[in-house]
Amino acid sequence: MSYQNILVPVDGSDISFSAIKHAASIAKAFGSKLTAISVVADDPFAAADFYYSPDMLKEYIQEAIKNAEEALSKARQLAEQQGAQIETQVVRNSVSAETFIKTAESLNTDLIVMGSHGRKGFQKFLLGSFAQDVLGQTQLPVLIIKQ
């Protein structure tokens, strides 16, 4: 099977950059299109129990987009070092598996490559597992990178 459209979520962590390296290697081998995305929450305070100002939200979004663009810039450098072409995109929506999967479908993705932090026990219960959520909600092939 040949993969034509590979998608990688990037959150600025080492494991997401490791996923970029793996995806770039696959993209180069198959001549695939490689896309990295970083999701930024439109309103991270939606469930907060406190009042916040529009300025506070504006500052958060500006900083979050800046951080996402920096992570995607690093992802671009890593992919290009491997000889792969890559497109990057900041997606403004809720940070969730659903957002990621909808983006994957809209980009006609046929392989998802993503890192997993490998949290266990109570930490996994508290923090959840984005990779596990994606695996459980998509029919697309998913390659999980653990280091």
Q: Which domains does the chain have, with CATH numbers?
A: 5-12+24-118+130-145 (3.40.50.620)
Q: What residue ranges of the chain have pLDDT lower than 70?
A: 1, 44-53, 118-128
The DSSP call for residue 119 is -
Q: Which two tokens stand for residue 79?
A: 């992919």
Sheet containing 33-40, strands listed edge to edge, beginning at the edge strand earlier in sequence: 87-92, 33-40, 5-9, 111-115, 142-145
pLDDT the model gives residue 78 = 98
pLDDT the model gives residue 46 = 63
**Is 60 within 8 Å of 52 (Cβ atoms)?**
no
Separation between Cα atoms, residue 46 and residue 43, nearest integer Å? 6
Question: Sign of torsion, CA 15 20 22 23?
Answer: positive
pLDDT the model gives residue 127 = 40
**SS3 sequence, 23-64?**
HHHHHHHHCCEEEEEEEECCCCCCCCCCCCCHHHHHHHHHHH
pLDDT the model gives residue 57 = 76
pLDDT the model gives residue 32 = 96
Question: Sign of torsion, CA 97 137 105 77?
Answer: positive
pLDDT the model gives residue 131 = 85
